[in-house]
């Protein structure tokens, strides 16, 4: 089985209706390829983006994803959005456990695991984010940190359900800083993650898509995507510019 090649755009709390329109216009000539392209805007623009992708006949090329979700399916949870709501909007992917959700909103790995479970149960595809801080890397804790973020998810859903999970390794020190990991460094860590999964299931490890997230841009994407265990990217700032994002998507076609 060939692993899915995925390029996902995380707009974070950026953008407006004008960005939605300019992105659709800028990507209008994209052709179908082996790359799954996902755009994750803020909640208010999910429906608008999805509708305009379909109107532009790009829905066989571009999918829409959410930046987070509640573990609850409904109820008294002011400000939250459920998987039921995302399904109602035909959303396919959900980013779970982004480092900003962990550090700013204090989401624990156990809470992240519960969200992954909820996303899978709703028939959606989770993009599970993991990664170490600069201090943790300096202290030689990379492997223990990644294990502490992955193991609760394995405990929650079981290894076989990881077949429907996408993992994005995002070194926290490289997110939005311009300090992307070298291709060799990123490959070394992706290899470790795949071997970590392989200890539970070699088949799941061989098939799971591992993305790199951390200042991916038009200049470094080709070298990053050439690495054997990197199956695409989770793109932040560069995904707010249609031309840069197209270059990144094109670089992934070579996988």
Q: Is 176 one of the annotated binding-site residues?
A: yes
Q: Which of 100, 107, 170, 190 is catalytic?
A: 170
12 labelled binding-site residue: yes
Residue 134 annotated as catalytic: no
- Rounded Cα gap, residues 47 and 156, in angstroms: 31
Report whether 173 belongs to an annotated binding site.
no
215 in a labelled binding site: yes
Residue 153 tokens read as: 């998810």
Of 71, 13, 68, 6, the C-alpha closest to 236 is: 13
DSSP state of 13: S
| Catalytic residue list contains 98 | yes
The sign of the dihedral angle between the CA atoms of 208, 211, 212, 218 is positive
Of 115, 225, 231, whose CA–CA distance to 168 is shortest?
231
* Choice among 36, 98, 100, 107 that is catalytic: 98
Q: Which of 89, 149, 81, 161 is nearest to 120 (CA)?
A: 161
- In whole angstroms, what separates CA 26 from the centre of its chain? 22
Question: Has 79 been labeled as part of a binding site?
Answer: no
At which residue do the structure tokens 């392989």 appear?
198
Annotated binding-site positions for substrate? 10-12, 176, 215, 236-237
**Residue numbers annotated as active site:** 98, 170
Binding residues: 10-12, 176, 215, 236-237
């Amino acid at each position: 089985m060939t692993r899915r090649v995925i390029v996902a755009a995380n707009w974070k709390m950026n953008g407006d209706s004008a960005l939605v329109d300019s992105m659709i216009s800028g990507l209008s000539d994209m052709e179908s390829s082996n790359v799954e392209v996902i755009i994750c805007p803020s909640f208010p623009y999910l429906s608008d983006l999805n509708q305009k992708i379909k109107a532009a006949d790009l829905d066989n090329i571009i999918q829409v994803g959410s930046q987070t979700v509640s573990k609850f399916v409904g109820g008294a949870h002011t400000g939250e959005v459920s998987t039921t709501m995302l399904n109602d909007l035909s959303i396919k992917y959900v980013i779970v456990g982004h480092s900003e959700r962990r550090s700013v909103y204090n989401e624990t790995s156990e809470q992240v695991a519960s969200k992954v479970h909820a996303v899978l149960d709703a028939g959606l595809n989770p993009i599970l984010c993991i990664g170490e801080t600069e201090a943790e890397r300096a202290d030689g804790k990379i492997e223990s940190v990644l294990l502490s973020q992955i193991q609760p998810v394995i405990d929650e859903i079981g290894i076989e359900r990881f077949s429907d999970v996408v993992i994005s390794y995002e070194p926290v020190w490289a997110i939005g800083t311009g300090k992307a990991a070298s291709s060799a460094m990123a490959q070394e860590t992706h290899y470790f993650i795949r071997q970590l999964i392989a200890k539970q299931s070699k088949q799941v490890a061989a098939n799971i898509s591992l993305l790199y997230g951390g200042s991916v841009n038009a200049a470094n994407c080709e070298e990053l995507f050439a690495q054997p265990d990197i199956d695409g990217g989770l793109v932040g700032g560069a995904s707010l510019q249609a031309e840069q994002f197209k270059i990144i998507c094109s670089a992934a076609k070579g996988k």
